[in-house]
Structure formats: C-alpha cells, structure tokens
Structure 1
C-alpha cells in the first residue's frame, strides 16, 4: 500500500514539475513577444522545476528499470558472476545515493542557517536544495527495492513489463 502511494506520488510530482516548467516557459515567451515584457523569474523557476523533476525522475528510472546502466560486461558474464555483479552494482547504488542524501540533508541544514534566498523568486534556498536529499533518498530506497527483488527472485525491474509489474506488485 505504501509503495503504491509512493509510486503514484512520484509520478504525479514528475508530471507536475514538467507541466509547470512547460507552462512557465510558454507564458514567458508569449509575454516577451506579445506583451513586450518577459517574466523576470521564469528562467529561475524553470531551472528549479527541472532540477526537482530530474531528481525524482532518476528514482523513477531505478524503479522501472530504465535508469542508465552499462550492462555489456554483466550480460557477457557467467550466471554466477552476473549475480554477484548485479548485487555489487546495486549495493554501490545504495551507498552512493544514500551518501548524497545524507550530505544533501546536511547541506540543506547549513543553507537554512544562512538565510539565503534565490535571486529572482526570493524563495529560501534551503527549500530548493531539498531536492537533493529527497530525490537521492528516494533513489536510494528504489535501489534497495530493486536489490531486494533481485535477491529474492533473480529478476530485475524491466520497463517492458512496467504496465503489468507496476499494477501487480505495487513496487
């Protein structure tokens, strides 16, 4: 149940960030060419929305098996070696994303203490930087899920089976 809610939230956030960035950019262009004035904060907001979208999109990529990977060596290996390589790579993914989430949270706490705000929007920068621990933490969780699935079943997430898998398992 938790994973289904998290999956849906992840998808809604990614789509919302993408839609908002598109709408803001479109409005800024229309305002510039039709109204003669642009929207001064549009570029900054679009950049922040794309950062948030990318962080959550990376976690989505791990969950669905579409995240970038170099599997030439893994696919060429014997089954016993392949299993070790897959587990090792997922463990490295867990360690890396967990480390980024941890230090990202420390960075957010530091930035909060400085009181910095963004140049155009004048939003607190710590809110913008929350993308780092939230996105990396979710990505770490997705690596743990994928690792648990692989250890239990020997299967990897596959985007080809996403329609079936996402509804059946609530991964």
Structure 2
C-alpha cells in the first residue's frame, strides 16, 4: 500500500513539475514576443503619423512591461532540477536508464547474476554517497542563509532536491536488487512500446535483408 502511494506520488510530482515548467516557458515566450510586437507597433505608428495608435501601443507596451517575469528562467531551472532528480528514481523503477549491458548479456548463469548484483550494488552505494553529501551541503546552505537572486527563496529548499532525489533513487536500486534476488527479474523498459521505435527497427531489418 505504501509503495503504491509512493509510486503514484512520484509519477504525479514529475508530471506536475513538467507541466509547470512547460507552461511557464510558454508564458515567458509569449510575454517577450508581445513586448517586442508592442514596441514595433509604437515605432510603426510614429513613422506613419498615427498618434492615436501610437498612444494605444505605448499603453499596451507599458502594461506588458509591468508584468515582470525575470524570475521565470530561474524558476524553470529549479523545476527541471527537481524533475530530473525524481525522474532518475522513476527511471530506475521502470528500467529506462541508459546502460551498457553488453558484458552482462554475454555472461550466463552464476556469472551473469553476480555481475548484475555488483552493478545494482554500485548504484546503491553511489546514490547513497550522493544523498549523504547532498544532505551535508543542504545543511551548510541552510546555516549560511543563502537565497536565490530572483525568487529570493532559501536556496537550501532548491538544493534539497539532491539528497531527497538521490535517497529515493537509492531506495529504487535496493528495491530493484531485492526483486532480482527474489524473482530473478530485472526491470526493463520495452522499447517496442515506444511509438515509432519498433517500426523503425522493422524497416532497418527489412533493409538489411534486402
């Protein structure tokens, strides 16, 4: 039950962070484009001696310019940082991380099992170390009282993504290792389920036979 809640929370969080980042980028681009368009319209109206249109365009420019979005870029960066850390843990859970498994696939029996265990254990150790170092870094950032330049929020909140995401990733490696030791199953994403990938592979195969 708890694992299902964690799985669902992980998926919802990643989706929400991605949606917020995309929406914010879209608004920022529209804002910048609208600001430039209003400025061009002011110049065009002045060149064609149209004071009424010029005043209207200037008013629109001032209104758009009053909507300060200097914080948008910084916010998007932070959103993507959190999304990447939780996305990495999600990737471990469903087996979509890029990896070179040529050596593992070439082995059989006990040797293959041992190599798989070593690889997963390496992931556990590495992410645990990152979580530990990240926690120490967040602590010192909190003690230092550092704030972000645009949003002016506590930077330890932003950096918290590192230890939290790494700890979750470490947990997912432990989960994957336990699943492998008890069932022999390794989470692996089927690339054929991705639209277009299987079709391309079939076309390449046909071309090779031809």
- Between the aligned partners of 2:80 and 2:131, the Cα distance in structure 1 is 18
TM-score by length of 2: 0.74
Whole-angstrom distance in 2 between the partners of 1:102 and 1:31 = 41
In the TM superposition, residue 80 of structure 1 has moved relative to its aligned partner by 1.4
Matched, 1:150 2:189: no
Q: Shift of residue 32 of structure 1? A: 0.9
2:75 aligned to 39, 45, 51, which one? Answer: 45
Q: Give the Å deviation of 1:68.
A: 1.7
CA distance in 1, matches of 2:156, 2:126: 22
Deviation, structure 1 residue 16? 0.7
Aligned to 1:82: 112
2:136 is matched with 106
Q: Within 5 Å, which residues of 2 pair with 1:1-171?
A: 1-36=1-36, 37=65, 39-160=69-190
Q: Which residue of 2 aligns with 1:164?
A: none
Question: In the alignment, which residue of structure 2 is the partner of 1:163?
Answer: none
- CA–CA separation in structure 1 for the residues paired with 2:188 and 2:119: 16
User: Partner of 2:205 in structure 1?
Assistant: none
Tell me the alpha carbon deviations over residues 31-57 of structure 1, each in whole angstroms, 9 at most, x when there is no partner: 111145461011111011111100000
**Which whole-Å deviations, capped at 9, do the CAs of 1:110-161 have from their partners, x for residues lacking one?**
000000001111110000000001100000000000000000011101223x
2:201 corresponds to: none
Q: Cα deviation per residue 1:48-88 (whole Å; 9 max; x = unaligned)?
A: 11111000000000000111211011001122111001000
Give 1:169's aligned residue.
Answer: none
* Structure 2: gaps of 5 or more residues: 37-64, 191-210
Runs (5+) with no aligned partner, structure 1 = 161-171
* Whole-angstrom distance in 2 between the partners of 1:3 and 1:88: 25
Instruction: Provide the rounded CA distance (Å) in 2 between the counterparts of 1:60 and 1:150.
Output: 17
Structure of greater relative contact order (alpha carbons < 8 Å, 6+ residues apart): 1
Corresponding position of 1:166: none
Q: Distance in 1 between matches of 2:146 and 2:87?
A: 27
Distance in 2 (CA, whole Å) between partners of 1:5 and 1:72 is 35
